[in-house]
Structure 1
Amino acid sequence: MKYPRGRQTLVGVGLALLLVLAWAALVGYALFLHRWSTADLLLVPLMVAVVCWLDTGLFIVAHDAMHGTLAPARPWVNRALGALCMLLYAGFWIGRFQPRHMDHHRAPGTAEDPDFHLQGRRFWPWYGNFMRQYTGLPELLGVAGMTALFVFGLGAPFERVMLFWALPAILSSVQLFAFGTWLPHRLGEEADGGFADRHRARSNAYGLWASLITCFHFGYHHEHHLRPDAPWWRLPAMRRQLSAGGIRPAAASTADRAAP
Structure 2
Amino acid sequence: MSETLRRFPSSSLVGAALAGVVICAWIALHVFAVWHLDATDAPVLAVVCLIGLTWLSVGLFIVAHDAMHGAIFPGSPRLNRAFGTLALLLFAGFSWRKLIVKHMAHHRHAGTDDDPDFSRGGPVAWYIAFVRTYFGWREFWVLGGSVILYALILGPRWPYVAFWAVPSILASMQLFVFGTWLPHRPGHDAFPDRHNARSTRFGDPLSLLTCFHFGGYHHEHHLYPSVPWWRLPSTRERGGA
User: When the two structures are superposed, what TM-score results if normalisation uses the length of structure 1?
Assistant: 0.84
Query: Is the counterpart of residue 13 in structure 1 residue 9 in structure 2?
Result: no
Alignment match, 1:170: 169
**CA RMSD for the aligned pairs?**
1.8
Q: Tell me which amino acid in the other structure corresponds to 2:71.
A: T
Q: Tell me which amino acid in the other structure corresponds to 2:233.
A: P
- Distance in 1 between the 2:119 and 2:38 partners? 44
- Distance in 2 between the 1:45 and 1:36 partners? 9
- Distance in 2 between the 1:227 and 1:129 partners? 27
- Distance in 2 between the 1:87 and 1:62 partners? 10
Alignment match, 1:95: 97
Query: Is the counterpart of residue 49 in structure 1 residue 51 in structure 2?
Result: yes
Alignment match, 2:147: 147
Alignment match, 1:23: 26
Alignment match, 1:253: none
Q: Tell me which amino acid in the other structure corresponds to 2:77.
A: P
Residues 6 and 73, structure 1, Cα contact 8 Å, conserved in 2: no
Q: Tell me which amino acid in the other structure corresponds to 1:136.
A: G
Q: Tell me which amino acid in the other structure corresponds to 2:33.
A: A
Deviation for aligned residue 1:142 = 2.0
Deviation for aligned residue 1:7 = 2.2
- Distance in 2 between the 1:174 and 1:36 partners? 24
Alignment match, 2:129: 129
Deviation for aligned residue 1:89 = 0.7
- Distance in 1 between the 2:82 and 2:69 partners? 13
Alignment match, 1:233: 230
Deviation for aligned residue 1:171 = 0.4
Alignment match, 2:4: none
Deviates more, 1:199-208 or 1:142-151: 142-151
Deviation for aligned residue 1:82 = 0.8
Deviation for aligned residue 1:209 = 1.0
Deviates more, 1:91-100 or 1:55-64: 91-100
Deviation for aligned residue 1:28 = 0.4
SS in structure 1 at match of 2:200 = coil
Work out which of the residue numbers 116, 121, 130 in structure 2 matches 1:114.
Answer: 116
Query: Is the counterpart of residue 35 in structure 1 residue 38 in structure 2?
Result: yes
Query: Is the counterpart of residue 194 in structure 1 residue 190 in structure 2?
Result: yes
Alignment match, 1:203: 199
Q: Tell me which amino acid in the other structure corresponds to 1:9.
A: S
Residues 92 and 143, structure 1, Cα contact 8 Å, conserved in 2: no
SS in structure 1 at match of 2:9 = helix
Residues 60 and 88, structure 2, Cα contact 8 Å, conserved in 1: yes
Q: What is the CA deviation profile of residues 170-215 of structure 1, one whole-angstrom value per residue up to 9, with x for unaligned ones? A: 00000000000000000125xxx51011000000111111111011
- Distance in 2 between the 1:102 and 1:167 partners? 28
- Distance in 1 between the 2:13 and 2:50 partners? 30
Alignment match, 1:247: 240
- Distance in 1 between the 2:80 and 2:54 partners? 23
Residues 212 and 229, structure 2, Cα contact 8 Å, conserved in 1: yes
Q: What is the CA deviation profile of residues 42-101 of structure 1, one whole-angstrom value per residue up to 9, with x for unaligned ones? A: 222221111000000000000111111121143322111110010011111211111011
Structure 1 unaligned runs (5+)? 249-260
SS in structure 2 at match of 1:187 = coil
Q: Would you say how many aligned residue pairs link Structure 1 and Structure 2? A: 233
Q: Tell me which amino acid in the other structure corresponds to 1:63.
A: H
Q: Tell me which amino acid in the other structure corresponds to 2:73.
A: A
Residues 179 and 218, structure 2, Cα contact 8 Å, conserved in 1: yes
Deviation for aligned residue 1:37 = 4.1
SS in structure 1 at match of 2:17 = helix
Deviation for aligned residue 1:228 = 0.2
